[in-house]
Structure 1
Amino acid sequence: MTTSIVSEPETAPADKNFLPGPVLLLGAPGVGKGTQAKALMAAYGIPQISTGDILRANIKSGTELGNAAKALVDQGTLVSDDLVNQMVADRLKQPDTQRGFILDGFPRTINQATWLDAQLSAASNTLPVVAISIVVEYQQLLRRITGRRISPAGRDYNIYSKPPRVAGICDVDGSTLIQRPDDSEAVFVERMKTFEAQTAPVIEHYRKQGRFEVVNGDRPVEEVTVGIVSALKRLRNDSNQ
């Protein structure tokens, strides 16, 4: 089933009085999800909740959940949904989540999505999750990822969209640019397969509930932000009716 991309007005400025609630940003590798998450964080003063960050913080702090997770990680075993859910539940109790938050890397499975829905519905004055998927055409994503080149100092280039003046050479210090192993086409193909397999059921879960919308990510960053803000406001208005 294909979801049409909804057009947005040219401007959709963030409103400090608007309550964003929990937002799940979805997107394949290279769509710019991290950049858009930062824009929403700045616009609404809400945190980004990353399960990877939560996991590392718990392990570093030596919490009970962190120690349990570390034992699994050390064994090369995946951390269970139940353990991840408990960590997320603890994070959602912190006061900075009251107006909303941006979910990163969670929920990845239907079990996690249904757990999260139940967790939020049980809390007083908490809005349900809305899911927004940033979509970019496959070949464009491939060029974004495989075209990346980086200097030893961390300067970024792209041989297709932001090439250096001299091929393979940093404009600033003349150093040799490299392609990271993770930016190869073979790795990208596998990451896309994993993304699609994990995300499809979660998308369908929120689509069926009328809490899902697609935004065209193949535009300048600011225009994509406008689209996300517009989609978020539409979804919130619909869910409150």
Structure 2
Amino acid sequence: MRIVLVGPPGAGKGTQAAFLAGNLSIPHISTGDLFRANIGQQTELGKLAKSYMDKGDLVPDEVTIAMAKDRMEQADAAHGFLLDGFPRNVSQAEALDGMLSESGMKLDAVLDLEVPEDEIVKRIAGRRICRKDSAHVFHATYNPPKADGVCDVCGGELYQRDDDTEDTVRKRLEVYHTQTEPIIDYYRAQDLVVTIEALGKVDEVTARAMSALKAGE
């Protein structure tokens, strides 16, 4: 299957992408991984992307599209893939359609993870990270530490990242609504969108998505 996963920040895309890709035996292709791999391996695309990032500029669509095309042409993606973070706007969606069409392929589904905006703000703004080890993550509501502001694992100080504050989260949501959300209507016109309620336990959301995909086969 060839799937695009969309949803606002805080909807759990990365977590669901990993589970769904595993269940479907297809590679999980995330924009973040593409950038890290290309920059780490110092590919020409990676060097180009880094030149923009070092200046604080957005990486142009054509660079992101080229990275995605290169990854989708690898052998493990021959029979399907799950895209997470790409396409990010309608221009990228149109480019993806063009790439697939040239290869005689098409998307099977676009999974739209839906979470109420207030819940997203609560999820992200409640995160607390350990200063000693960023792998130790707590949540003020859902996974609070035993002692306020202290990591249960190593005793390090817990803090809120600058991009996890409520104001920042709401700005990120505005960007999502403006830039990325329009691709849902773009794909809805192709009858590809499957809306998944992303509230609840991780395995419950995965089960909903898998059921929806099977129903659409």
TM-score using structure 2 length: 0.89
153-162 or 200-209, which moves further after superposition?
Answer: 153-162
User: Paired residue for 2:165?
Assistant: 184
> In 2, distance between residues paired with 1:211 and 1:147?
34
* Residue in 2 that maps onto 1:45: 25
Listed as ranges, the matches of 1:205-224 within 5 Å are 205-224=186-205
2:123 alignment partner, one of 144, 149, 153: 144
Distance change in 2, residues 1:98/1:167 (3 Å):
same
Q: Aligned partners of 1:41 and 1:139: how far apart in 2?
A: 28
Q: 1:178 to 1:90 in 2, by over 3 A?
A: same
Report the CA distance between 1:224 and its aligned residue.
Answer: 0.1
Q: CA deviation at 1:143?
A: 1.4
The equivalent position to 2:81 in structure 1, one of 95, 98, 101, is 101
Q: Pick the aligned partner of 1:194 from 166, 175, 192.
A: 175
Compare 195-204 and 162-171 and name the one that shifted more: 162-171
Q: Judging changes above 3 Å, is the alpha-carbon distance between structure 1 residues 168 and 233 closer, same or farther for their aligned structure 2 residues?
A: same
State the distance in 2 between where 1:162 and 1:53 align: 27
Q: Which amino acid aligns with 1:150?
A: I
Q: In 2, Cα distance between the equivalents of 1:150 and 1:53? A: 22
Q: How many residues align?
A: 215
- For residues 15-60 of structure 1, the C-alpha deviation after alignment (integer angstroms, 9 at most, x for no partner) is xxxxxx2211112121111111110122122112123322333333
The aligned residue for residue 70 of structure 2 is: 90
Which SS does the other structure have where 2:159 is aligned? coil
Aligned equivalents of 2:51, 2:122: Cα separation in 1? 39
Question: What RMSD, in angstroms, separates the aligned Cα atoms of the two structures?
Answer: 1.9
Contact 1:22–1:101 (8 Å) recurs in 2: yes
Query: Counterpart amino acid of 1:128?
Result: L
Q: Distance in 2 between matches of 1:75 and 1:166?
A: 41
Question: Contact 2:26 / 2:76 at 8 angstroms: preserved in 1?
Answer: yes
Equivalent of residue 113 in structure 2, options 131, 134, 143: 134
- Rounded Cα–Cα distance in structure 2 between residues aligned with 1:142 and 1:192: 9
Contact conserved, 1:132 with 1:231, CA < 8 A, in 2? no
Distance 1:178 1:109 in 2: 33
Unaligned runs of 5+ residues in structure 1 are 1-20
Contact kept, 8 Å, 1:132 with 1:228, in 2: the verdict is yes
Report which stretch shifted further, 201-210 or 167-176.
167-176
Is residue 207 of structure 2 the alignment partner of residue 226 of structure 1? Answer: yes
Task: Mark the runs of 5 or more structure 2 residues left unpaired by the alignment.
Answer: none
Question: Which of 1 and 2 has greater Rg?
Answer: 1
Secondary structure in structure 2 of the residue aligned to 1:82: helix
Q: Residues 121-141 of structure 1, C-alpha deviation per residue, up to 9 Å, x if partnerless?
A: 2214x3425211111112221
Find the aligned partners of 2:152 and 2:98 in 1 and give their Cα distance. 52
Cα distance, 1:143–1:69 mapped onto 2, change above 3 Å: closer
| TM-score between the two structures when normalised by the length of structure 1 | 0.81
Cα deviations across residues 101-126 of structure 1 (Å, max 9, x unaligned)? Answer: 111221112111111112112214x3
1:198 maps to a residue whose letter is Q
